[in-house]
Every structure is written in C-alpha cells, then in structure tokens.
Amino acid sequence: MSGLFTLFKSRKHEDEWMDLPSTSTGEFTEALRDIQWVNRNLGGTEVLLSAFQSMLPSDLPAALSVLDIGTGSADIPRALANWARAANHLNLPPLHITACDIHPVAVSVSRQLCQGYPEITVVQADALNLSYTENSFDIVISSMFLHHLDNAQAVQLLREMARISRIGLIVNDLERHPLAWLGIKTLGHLTRKGRIFKNDAPLSVLRGFDRSDLERLKQQSGLTTLEIQHHRPYRWVLCWRRENASIRQP
C-alpha cells in the first residue's frame, strides 16, 4: 500500500499516448471524444463556466474576446458559446472565441464541430510560442492542458496567458490523487473506453498537481495574486485577474 501512495508524491512526466506522433488519426479523434466525455461528466466544463462568469467585470466591454489554449476538440469554447447564447438576461456583449491547438487533427475536428458557431475561430498554434501581442484578449483560458507540460513549460504558459490577457486567465486541470487515479482507471473499463483513454486518463492524473505543485508554479511564474481553487471531484481551477484591468473599447 505504501508503494501505491509513493506513486503520487511527485508529478510523472511519461508521455501520454495521444501526444505521440505514432498515434493514428482515428485513435487521436477517439481520444478527443473521450476528453469531451470527461469534461462533460466529471466537472471540467462546469467549473470552467463558473470561473468564467466570476471573471467577468461589472463594466463589460462592447465585445468580449477569449482565447482557449490547447482546445482539443473545442468542446469548452462551444460550451461557452452555448452559455452566452442562453444568458440573455445578463446582457452579455458579443463573444468572440479563438480556439487554438498545435495538433492538426485537433484543429480539423474542432473546425468541423464548430460549424454553426460563427463566434468561434479555430487556429493552429503552439501554446509555448504564441505570436499574440500583449493584451490581445480579454480572458485567456486553458482546460486539461497544463498537465501535458513539464514544470518549466507550465510556468512559461502561465506567464504567456497573463501577458496576452487584458482581464485575466483561467486554468482548469486535474488533481493528482490516489482516488482520482483509481476512479478514472475503473471508469475506463466500465465504460469500455478506447485503449488511449485507458492508458492516458490514469497517466493524466499522475501528471496532475497537488497544492504544493501549484504553489510552486505560482511563485515561479511571478503571478502572486493567482488564486488556487479546489473543486470536487479532483479538479483545480487557477484564476488570475489583472490589477486595475482596463477594458479596451473597440
């Protein structure tokens, strides 16, 4: 039993199968569907939408721009767009979402799924080499992507997200916890997920974060006001708001 808990003491850095160049288009696409299932059924989409609403300033701009980094199949941008369409009582401004991913299959799948969403633009971009200038977007978000990075890359991403945001950033990712690992491993078999999911989902938990990991990222990134929020089941949400954020009017 002690050996099992030792497994969770620090982040693992073994590559997930979906990140390997040898993964086929079919298996990668199946993995994207499985991530959508996880976000929808295990709280990822819900916590992101809640954090997004709390990030909105009282003095809303004439239009609200969002960048989603590591978008996968753009399920979070679509959820944001659907929420905005349904939130007429909030008098929201038009929402413009840029969904970016480095993987060409993810970009292709996202573009197909985002047909009918004119408020979403899908682009291919490297999260660690973004060409956007400072304050390019109002809010920058990322879901289930941070754990794919090593610690130095994670610090770089947080700094970049802060640099290009006018209002703030939101990161939604996994807690490294034995019960989370056991639960997702069991779900993979009970729901008959594909082999990528059965390998990568438990590994994603092992690549995830405990609070001490996130406190180090906060310190190393220099984002001293970064909020670290824990949500059930086994989710972290990081929120950073720019001090005296100015809303750029078009």
Q: What is the CATH number of the domain that holds 170?
A: 3.40.50.150
**213-222 confidence digits (pLDDT tens):** 999 999 999 9
The predicted structure's pLDDT at residue 89:
63
In a domain, 118, yes or no: yes
The predicted structure's pLDDT at residue 193:
81
pTM over 0.85: yes
Query: Among residues of the chain, what percentage have pLDDT more than 90?
Result: 72
In a domain, 13, yes or no: no
Q: How many CB atoms neighbour CB 7 within 10 A?
A: 12
In a domain, 42, yes or no: yes
In a domain, 188, yes or no: no
Domain extent, residue 75, equals 33-175+209-241
The predicted structure's pLDDT at residue 250:
41
The 10 Å CB-count burial string (b at 16+, else e) for 103-140 is bebbbebbeebbeebebbebeebebeebebeeebbbbb
The total number of structural domains in the chain stands at 1
In a domain, 195, yes or no: no
The predicted structure's pLDDT at residue 55:
93
In a domain, 229, yes or no: yes
How far is the C-alpha of 231 from the C-alpha of 199, rounded, in Å?
Answer: 24
In a domain, 1, yes or no: no
The 10 Å CB-count burial string (b at 16+, else e) for 41-59 is ebbbbbbbbbbbeebbbee
Confidence band of 4 (pLDDT split at 50, 70, 90): low
In a domain, 2, yes or no: no
